[in-house]
Amino acid sequence: MAIPKYDEMMLPVLRILGDGAEHSQRELAEQIADHFKLTPQERAERLPKVKATYLRHRLGWAGFSLRRAGLAESPRTGTLQITDEGRTFLASNPSQLRAADLKRFPAYAAFVERMKSEAEIPETKIESAHETPEERIEAAFSDLNQTLVGELLTRLSTVDPFRFERIVLDLLVAMGYGGSFKEAAAVTQKTGDEGIDGVINEDRLGLDVIYIQAKRWKSSIGRPEIQNFVGALAGKKAGKGIFITTSEFHDNARDYAAGIHQKIILIDGRRLAELMIEHDIGVAEEHAYSVKKIDGDYFEES
């Protein structure tokens, strides 16, 4: 099954705490993973930017919400224990406890009112969100990146062909091939076909060479184009090549590339744009937000 949202974890966590013992986050994570029958892959899946698994991250917010509602407390850092109010709630044999249900608890209602007055956060953002704040940031970041991918593809489709050659080689150098642009790459002269034939050193010493073909096309790249590239590699007695396009690869092109003895990497337009964003080629930082958390060690220092 899918990894449960943080508020889907709240009632199972509270039931685990119902034994009255003090439970560590690690122990709770194992029991919650077992409760939801998560696979090893789901237990290990991590957020793209936050250095935590979805399981531990969402469990942390489930515990935070229970504490804000007065149903649990944290006797020590990284632990949870049920409160008297939590025991009373469990005694009512509840069938669910979701984010929207928390406002029934006076402690949580007071927390919401305080947040609304101090930070001007809409009520629905506090009480009804099933994603954690970090996950909402991740989703917004992903949306912005997808928009940027589209904008990059539009620009790449209109740049001068020789400029496109340089963009591709700038990217490969930024990815660690060769070192400097001068050490790493060589570009052929303009041919007028809106593509490039270039070479780049796989390492800074030039122990191996990778041949590059790039097509600034709108139509899909099929098997014939890949076969022609493979033939060019054979003429150079080369075993490695990168074929880059601003469009897409047909399935028959990918199947062909996967079945030959030469190592051919296919990079379509979307992947090209994503790599440019990742390695800061053709893009510039507009805003940066630093998300901080409490440093528990600082407060425990003598």
Least confident of 41-55, 171-185, 250-264: 171-185
Burial 83-105 (b: 16+ CB within 10 A, else e): bebbeebbeeeeeebebebbbeb
Cα three-residue angle 221-224-225, rounded to 5 degrees: 50
What is the pLDDT at residue 165?
80
Least confident of 190-194, 240-244, 284-288: 190-194
The percent of residues above 90 in pLDDT, for the chain, comes to 44
Label residue 183 by pLDDT band (50, 70, 90): low
Task: Count other C-beta atoms under 10 Å from residue 144's C-beta.
Answer: 12
Predicted confidence (pLDDT) at residue 234 exceeds the cutoff of 60: yes
d(CA 167, CA 282): 8
Q: Do the Cβ atoms of 34 and 157 come closer than 8 Å?
A: no
Average pLDDT over residues 96-125: 75
d(CA 300, CA 302): 6
In the chain, what are the domains?
Answer: 6-131 (1.10.10), 160-278 (3.40.1340.10)
Predicted confidence (pLDDT) at residue 192 exceeds the cutoff of 90: no
Average pLDDT over residues 272-293: 84
d(CA 225, CA 188): 19
3-state secondary structure of 119: helix
Predicted confidence (pLDDT) at residue 255 exceeds the cutoff of 80: yes
Residues 9-32 have pLDDT tens digits of: 999 999 999 999 999 999 999 999
What is the pLDDT at residue 298?
53
* Between residues 275 and 52, the one the model is more confident about: 275
Q: What would the two tokens of residue 172 be?
A: 């490969």
